[in-house]
Structure 1
Amino acid sequence: MKKIKFRNLHRDLGYFYIGLIVSFAFSGLLMNHRDAWHPEKYTTETKEIEVKLPEESEINEKFSEDLGKQLGIDDKMRRHTVKKGDFKISFENHDVEIDMKTGKGEIISFVKTPIISQAMKLHKNTSNFWIYYSDIFAISLIIIALTGTIMIKAGKFSWKNRGWKLAVAGVIFPLIFLFLLG
């Protein structure tokens, strides 16, 4: 009788969460490679510019914000840097890159990638609702995993004979990466 209840719970939770599991896996893959390619946004326009820049010591946050406004950029500024002779300003939907010596540069405009941008928000969202929902999801995954351990009948491939060893290996594997790469 217990096996039937666990089997039903396992099945129903699995069906209920399959969409979220796939969404999380998809957005996780995108997040893992966001430094190599910017899956959340893509370039829509590159515009050449030429501006007169002050000395590097005079470039600060206020100057960067004001320059963005002069260039017609109205979205929020994230950061500015001066490195290796290049002045860079990063905005939410634009990047500005200017050569410090010549004043020549470009404005790169971005647009959010449909569906991919929204999927990546699954991993970034910090609203209370989403945190609690994610907690319920995590607990449900634990329940799915534990109920799955008793579904295989006794024998060569049962939890008792083989499954627990693979589960321990599944815990040890990421720990090795945490300690070796961390």
Structure 2
Amino acid sequence: MKKSNWRKWNRAIHRDLGYICAGLTLIYAISGVAVNHVQDWNPNYKIERTTAFVGPVEHYAEDTDDALAREVLRRLGLPGEYKNTFRPDPETLRIFAGNRTIQVNLRTGEAAQEIVRTRPLIYQTNFLHLNHPKRLWTYFADLYAVALALLAVTGLFILRGKQGITGRGAWLTAIGILLPLFFLWLYS
């Protein structure tokens, strides 16, 4: 009678799932660190602020916002296309053009620009990690979570004896369970 070698299958499952999950784990790890520190920075976008002097814009009280916006954009050397304008007060014009917002004091000619750019790699990893695509990605992410659970369970039984789950592994597993419980207790 042939002996069932479940440890061989356990190692094979653990190894193959580990390779499959490695790339996804890196994506989730990069995004996780970025999102954990959202109070310190915007992980998705980099906002560049610049100032310029365009000179006083004459007839700003009489001209239309469209004419003023086109004149300011011309003086800044930017294309004349914009999405919208807004006047918070009679002397200030905000221009929303593409990925930038320009606020100009029409009387003094001082212009402040904010240019918003996506952070390469981090924006995309956050997009997936926070499940913005929905639909099929939700099921894929669920499969990944199941695969991680299988990795955890198969990992418990890779080693035998005092280094395995009946020895040192039991202590490390207990620490892994107790740490989140401690923080739940601490913050509740």
Same fold by TM-score, threshold 0.5 exceeded?
yes
State the 1:97 CA deviation: 8.4
- Tell whether the 8 Å contact from 2:95 to 2:102 is kept in structure 1 after alignment: no
The corresponding residue for 1:32 is 36
Greater Rg, structure 1 or structure 2?
A: 2
Deviation readout 1:140-160 (Å, 9 max, x if unpaired): 111111111111022x21101
Report which stretch shifted further, 36-45 or 137-146.
Answer: 36-45
Q: Secondary structure at the match of 1:71?
A: strand
State the 1:44 CA deviation: 3.6
Q: Which runs of 5+ in 2 are unaligned?
A: 57-83, 88-92, 105-109
State the 1:114 CA deviation: 1.5
Structure 2 distance, partners of 1:74, 1:97, is 11
Question: What is the identity, as a one-letter code, of the residue corresponding to 1:151?
Answer: I
State the 1:16 CA deviation: 0.8
Is 2:20 aligned against 1:16?
Answer: yes
Question: What is the identity, as a one-letter code, of the residue corresponding to 1:17?
Answer: C
5 Å-filtered alignment, 1:1-182, equals 1-47=5-51, 67=86, 71-73=94-96, 106-126=112-132, 127-154=134-161, 156-182=162-188
- Tell whether the 8 Å contact from 2:156 to 2:165 is kept in structure 1 after alignment: yes
Q: Secondary structure at the match of 1:114?
A: coil
Q: Secondary structure at the match of 1:73?
A: strand
Question: What is the identity, as a one-letter code, of the residue corresponding to 1:149?
Answer: L
- Tell whether the 8 Å contact from 2:94 to 2:101 is kept in structure 1 after alignment: no
Which aligned segments of 4 or more residues in structure 1 are displaced greater than 6 angstroms? 95-98
Deviation readout 1:25-65 (Å, 9 max, x if unpaired): 01111111122122321134434699xxxxxxxxxxxxxx8
Q: TM-score, normalised by structure 2?
A: 0.65
- Matched residues, percent identical? 29
The corresponding residue for 2:72 is none
Report which stretch shifted further, 34-43 or 110-119.
Answer: 34-43
Deviation readout 1:96-137 (Å, 9 max, x if unpaired): 889xxxxx8844221111212111112222403122111111
Structure 2 distance, partners of 1:16, 1:179, is 35
Structure 2 distance, partners of 1:138, 1:119, is 16
Q: Which runs of 5+ in 1 are unaligned?
A: 51-64, 76-92, 99-103
Structure 2 distance, partners of 1:95, 1:176, is 46
Q: Secondary structure at the match of 1:152?
A: coil
